[in-house]
Amino acid sequence: MFRRFLSPSNLKSLHTALSPSRPRFAAPLLTRHVTAQSGTSSVRKRVEDVLPIATGHEREEIQASLEGRDILEINHPEGPFGTKEAPAIVKSYYDRRIVGCPGGEGEDEHDVVWFWLENGKPHECPVCTQYFELKVVGPGGDPYGHGDHH
């Protein structure tokens, strides 16, 4: 059965059918030029345009920038090693936050230990004994938006 399909005459016609065809006529190349005007007619997004439709974290960032605050500064706390008398302060918008402790510098450094830090409850890292305390700088409440009604 396959011999009939693969005969030399069928292979030649198959070869010509699969070979790239040459154009029968030459068509001129058409080019299209698109230009954009710059300057005063350019479209620029302003805070006034975006703020009414912004939601969630984007809206918080825009509102903070209008007030002259950088809300992302709380994501990378730096400071001295926290002790029981002077704990390392970690800022949060809510009443609790996940914190990672990398340990101290040099030999005191360890793998990151993650834990929940809650407002009013200082926490001691179980590896390096560094103390942390939460400072609420936002609206407070549950970070997941759930209240006591759930």
The percentage of residues in the chain with a pLDDT greater than 90, rounded to a whole number, is 29
Domains in the chain, please, with CATH?
45-73 (no CATH), 77-136 (2.60.11.10)
pLDDT of residue 24: 54
Question: Please, is 130 exposed, middle or buried when counting C-beta atoms within 10 Å of its C-beta (0-12, 13-18, 19+)?
Answer: buried
pLDDT of residue 41: 42
Rounded to 5 degrees, φ, ψ at 130 are -80, 140
pLDDT of residue 141: 80
d(CA 85, CA 83): 5
Q: Which residues of the chain have pLDDT under 70?
A: 1-48, 72-73, 75, 146-150
pLDDT of residue 2: 45
| Residue list for the binding site for Zn(2+) | 101, 110, 125, 128
pLDDT of residue 1: 43
Q: What is the DSSP letter of 136?
A: E
**How far is Cα of residue 45 from the mean position of the Cα atoms in its chain?**
21
pLDDT of residue 121: 95
Rounded to 5 degrees, φ, ψ at 134 are -90, 135
Amino acid at position 108, single letter: D
Q: Contact, 127 vs 138, CB < 8 A?
A: no
| Residue list for the binding site | 101, 110, 125, 128
For residue 71, give both structure tokens: 């809300």
